[in-house]
Structure 1
Amino acid sequence: MDEDKALPSSIEFEVEQAVATLRLNRPDVRNAIDDDMRAGLIGLIDRVARDESIRALVITGNGKGFCSGGDIKSMKQRLQVPPGDIAFNGWRRQQRTHHLVSALHDLPKPTIAAVNGAATGLGCDLALACDFVIASEASTMAMTYVLRGLIPDGGGMYFLPRRVGLARAKELIFTGRTVKPQEALALGMIDRIATADRLVREAQDWAAEMAQGAPAAVALAKSVLNQSFELTAEQVFGMGSQAQAICYSTRDHLESVQAFLAKSAGKEKR
């Protein structure tokens, strides 16, 4: 497909039945994200959003790491520009990063990060931007930004407190320490642990379970849930009412009701 040809070599992509699997493919640098990869990821996530045959997305990494964050070469280039351009260039880079994270977070389909190795900095943010995180026994997670004199800029300050609570998020961000799978599971940073050889398969199987849900219902529920911490109960109820009204008109709802009524009618005749 033409869309496949547009993918950079730093990304691998496949679809099995209704589940898409995206593999970060820069194993020599632990899948650090450079400009080409970031642009490719944004385009691919948009493609997944538009493709009605894809019902769920799994993201993992090739090699020993999930994602080591931003590419060090990009950081070096940032420091080499004239002082008067550093801030604005950094702002523009931030906009592209936020575009990527927002596209993943807002994707109207279930997303699972299959963390196969170290997920540090932006890599940790990328995993937390997914709806669910399953990690291998060999994985680690760390908000290493502070060790580079930076703050989490890939959504970590939004996603992490929602998973582990505010005080624990502050501790992990202020120290930049490494979290191993069992602790990550206890804290709520991740949802499941798998053996390395079964990680991606289990993530795909889990995604396939969620792909059974009616696409419109899943998308609408996710859109409300993603905002629920910032809204009042009344606002959530209101948005839920609007979403439900849309669900009433969908083919999935109509067919499920007809199937239920037909089954009930069959039982009554016996």
Structure 2
Amino acid sequence: MSYVETENRDGVLWLWLNRPERHNALVPALVADLRSAVALAAEQAPPALVLAARGRSFSTGGDVAGFLENSGSVEALKAYSEQLVGGLHTVILDLLAFPAPVLAAINGPLTGGATGLMLAADLVAMAEDAFVQPYYSEVGFGPDGGWTALLPDRIGTAKALQIQYRNERIGATEALVLGLATCICPPEELESQIRSWTNEIAKGYAQTHRATREKVWDDQRRAEVRSRLDQEKTRFLELVTRPETLEGMRDFKKERA
């Protein structure tokens, strides 16, 4: 069973995160499936790519249970974290380099590093009851997925720091004001909103959309993002094996058991 389903809707490719029983929490296998799906989608050159998710959540970020299951040794935990965070960052960079507009349908909670999938999208439709939240300071992780590499450029350094220091929850309305969401709508209208955008996009020249995206996310800009993501990963690997982080993970899991 794949953790990512690909659906072709009139030429537009929808990639569905498919681990709903765990709120689409990220594990290396899911990230690997997503990377493969994005690569295959790029080869097909669709007019647009849509990121969506099965279940009630878009994604709750890295699965804390997965980290704990691999915490038997420092080496094992670092290797697991490298797979997960490194793989996620590769997916984000692949999305930034995708040769067509990337859209995201945020149907529910979006937390931790999975937020990078939204940050890599061009147009974001967000359900009225969805939210974004970092949670790093609740566990002891270093930020990943672009919380320091991409978010400050989107909403300003001070606001990005405020949200992370205070572990603030960004509701859909605030996400719209901040420019993280393009629009908000009732959950049942999320897919129709995305379809209206993909229909508009399909009316334009694909070569123009591609040229626009390539100039916005040119080699230099993506190299800068890559460097920042590498710094996030390095810091994540430094913090994840600390005793206080392991304690934070256990407490976090216990509170949600």
TM above 0.5, one fold?
Answer: yes
Matched, 1:91 2:92: no
Identity across matched positions, percent: 27
Q: How far is the alpha carbon of 1:227 from its aligned partner?
A: 4.4
Please report the RMSD computed on the Cα atoms of aligned residues, expressed in angstroms: 2.1
Distance 2:76 2:26 in 1: 22
Distance 1:151 1:224 in 2: 31
Matched, 1:26 2:26: no
Distance 1:74 1:216 in 2: 42
**In 1, are the aligned partners of 2:2 and 2:33 still within 8 Å (CA)?**
no
Matched, 1:42 2:29: no
Distance 1:229 1:146 in 2: 31
Q: How far is the alpha carbon of 1:222 from its aligned partner?
A: 0.8
Matched, 1:179 2:167: no
Query: What aligned pairs does 1:1-270 form with structure 2 within 5 A after superposition?
Result: 8-52=1-45, 54-80=46-72, 82-84=73-75, 86-87=77-78, 90-227=81-218
Higher RCO by CA contacts (8 Å cutoff, separation 6 or greater): 2
**In 2, are the aligned partners of 1:135 and 1:199 still within 8 Å (CA)?**
yes
**In 1, are the aligned partners of 2:61 and 2:114 still within 8 Å (CA)?**
yes
Q: How far is the alpha carbon of 1:86 from its aligned partner?
A: 4.1
Distance 2:191 2:77 in 1: 39
Change (3 A) 1:19 1:68: same
- Match of 1:209, SS? helix
**In 1, are the aligned partners of 2:20 and 2:56 still within 8 Å (CA)?**
yes
Structure with greater Cα Rg: 1
Change (3 A) 1:86 1:24: closer
Distance 2:58 2:83 in 1: 25
Q: Deviations over 1:196-238 (max 9, x none)?
A: 111012112212312333223222221221249959xxxxxxx
Superposition TM-score, scaled by structure 2 size: 0.79
Change (3 A) 1:40 1:84: closer
- Match of 2:187, SS? coil
Distance 2:162 2:127 in 1: 24
Change (3 A) 1:168 1:62: same
Q: How far is the alpha carbon of 1:20 from its aligned partner?
A: 1.3
Distance 1:69 1:119 in 2: 7
- Match of 1:217, SS? helix
Distance 2:120 2:190 in 1: 19
**In 1, are the aligned partners of 2:67 and 2:81 still within 8 Å (CA)?**
no
**Aligned length in residues:** 222
Q: Deviations over 1:96-136 (max 9, x none)?
A: 22111111222111111110000011222221121121101
